[in-house]
Structure 1
Amino acid sequence: MASTVTHDQDLPEGSITRAELAVWDEEFAALCARMDPLFYRPESRRHARQYLRGLMAPLQRKNGWTIAEHVGEKEPKALQRFLNLTPWNSDVLRDLVVAYAMERFADPQSVLIADPTGFAKKGRKSAGVQRQYSGTLGRIDNCQIGTFLAYANPVGSRVLLDRELYIPEHSWFADRDRCAEAGIPAEAVFRTRPQQVTVMIERALKAGVPFAWFAADEEFGQNPGLRAWLQERRIAYVMGVPKNTEFTTADGDGVVIEKAVGTLRPSAWQRRACGIGAKGFRVYDWALLESDDPDHLFLVRRSLDDGELAYYHCHDPRREGFGALVRVAGSRWPVEE
């Protein structure tokens, strides 16, 4: 039987060509070469490449065995030793990632996004683990919480730039022996998650990361310390706030945001898309509430399906206006996904 040769031009639309694979492979090799100084031994560099290939592979489950098999190893012991015992500086790698990302995605109109993520755990040994609420899990559970800083540019590209592991104060820092056993450095100090965000933004500023806005959910939006820190640096932001948030209106009256919405006229609402999701454009009704400070406004989002409301505190010192605020409010979803 004669064999059939398929040429790149014969592939269905959307398929990956051999030429594209070759380019990606070259780019992967170049990226790994930038990481080589992190590892002293050649075999560690090889295992790092194997592990990264495994993480990028379309495996249904990713663990030591499946990744080892994917990269041609008979068993996972070598990769497990690499992950558990090989010394390397994660902060240096973070800086390499930031530099690499900025070469490709930097845009002065981008948004920095803070997002906490929970990781379910079964035991007590993992650093920072305790029973605590996780929005990711949707409940109180035994978990770790990571605070992440992401970057989203106007064309829809997004990348994680930084991370901090939240270490609870009383259950961990009060027991330094437990911290040492979990590998927490002796010089580590307790920081709230909003404080972790300021540390990461400072690093981004120091690295020259260009951005126009900061966005975050209610946990950060209701924190007065974080808001003040951002305002002092004239960093524009759109952050979620709870419905009982109080503010002073342009008329000088104190009001709760949930009640202020009831004073809006029907014409105050505008129907706009704030991004694209798995099911198409994310469309909501939006309205603005003015405060006694023109730099500060409160954005309200109303669902078209059930009328559910969400609220945002906006710091807009450059007066970029309604459309920009809606766009930034919608920038968080791609990162959460």
Structure 2
Amino acid sequence: MTGVAIEQMLELWCVELRQVKAHLQSLFAHPSIAASAAAFLDGVLGPERRKTGWMRAEAAGDPGPWRQQAVLGRSHWDANALRDMVRDYALETLASPGAVLVLDETGFLKQGQHSCGVGRQYTGSAGKITSCQIGVFAAYVSDRGCAFIDRQLYLPKDWINDAIRRQAAHVPDSLRFVTQPEIAAQMIARALAAGVPFDWVAADTIYGVGAIEMQLRRAGKGYVLGAHATDQFSS
């Protein structure tokens, strides 16, 4: 895009964003919910530093945050279908046989106790044990750029074992406890099943050697995985 005027670049972005919003409409049963989802997307991409419900509503011209909250809470739509849609959209531009799948987790600091998965746990975001949510993410990195293509919220055991808390947060009864490495392994399996082209996987010591290493060896994929000093290796 070298040499393109700023006005042209902005118009290209606007056209692409409109196409993305139109594509997302298939996820929602009613046009009004799709419109609220589009307004939510505008708010997330907007200039406000804090993305509260009221600030997003004000940016959309709504009298309150209820329409956008409905998208996140009361409306029924398939979040995993959106995940796959985002992955396919990213690969249209970024796909490359020599790409790298990068796995890592991050923490979202939380003061309250009601957000799904919140608890006192270690997060690199704060560099300590604190009240937060933990999400595991997969990023696709090639010589054409990078983008997130998968995500999953980590639920600690005390959440999984607390039926009242699960019900209040609308956590499905079928969900069982899985560790962060197990979540990462599921992401690798989804990428392989979807035919995502990549040669390598990179991850830190949480994912280390073990089941993920064996999974990648069987799939014929290279890997760079962090290891602890106490980990055992066999040649």
Confirm or deny that 1:76 pairs with 2:62.
no
- Displacement of 1:127: 2.1
Give the counterpart letter for 1:61 in structure 2: R
From 69, 88, 98, the equivalent of 1:109 is 98
Gaps of 5+ in 1: 1-12, 249-292, 294-337
Give the counterpart letter for 1:51 in structure 2: F
Confirm or deny that 1:146 pairs with 2:96.
no
Q: Which has the higher contact order (CA 8 A, sep 6+)?
A: 2
Confirm or deny that 1:38 pairs with 2:27.
yes
> 1 or 2, which has the higher strand percentage?
1
Aligned to 1:236: 222
From 182, 189, 201, the equivalent of 1:195 is 182
Aligned to 1:161: 149
Aligned to 1:26: 15
TM-score when scaled to structure 2? 0.91
Pairs within 5 Å for 1:1-337 = 17-155=6-144, 157-169=145-157, 171-221=158-208, 223-247=209-233, 293=235
Residue 207 of structure 2 aligns to a residue whose secondary structure is helix
- Displacement of 1:212: 0.7
For 1:166 and 1:78, locate their aligned partners in 2 and report how far apart those are by CA, in whole Å.
27
Residue 73 of structure 2 aligns to a residue whose secondary structure is helix
- Relative to 1, partners in 2 of residues 1:246 and 1:83: Cα closer, same or farther, differing over 3 Å? closer
Query: Between the two proteins, what is the percent identity of the paired residues?
Result: 38
- Displacement of 1:39: 1.0
- Displacement of 1:83: 2.8
The RMSD of aligned alpha carbons is 2.1
For 1:87 and 1:212, locate their aligned partners in 2 and report how far apart those are by CA, in whole Å.
36
Residue 60 of structure 1 aligns to a residue whose secondary structure is coil
- Relative to 1, partners in 2 of residues 1:68 and 1:29: Cα closer, same or farther, differing over 3 Å? same
CA deviation map 1:276-331 (0-9, x unaligned): xxxxxxxxxxxxxxxxx4xxxxxxxxxxxxxxxxxxxxxxxxxxxxxxxxxxxxxx
Runs of 4+, deviation exceeding 6 Å: none
Give the counterpart letter for 1:195 in structure 2: E
For 2:49 and 2:25, locate their aligned partners in 1 and report how far apart those are by CA, in whole Å.
29
Aligned to 1:5: none
For 1:120 and 1:53, locate their aligned partners in 2 and report how far apart those are by CA, in whole Å.
23
Gaps of 5+ in 2: none
Larger Rg: 1
Say how many residue pairs are matched. Answer: 234
- Relative to 1, partners in 2 of residues 1:77 and 1:133: Cα closer, same or farther, differing over 3 Å? same
- Relative to 1, partners in 2 of residues 1:176 and 1:16: Cα closer, same or farther, differing over 3 Å? farther
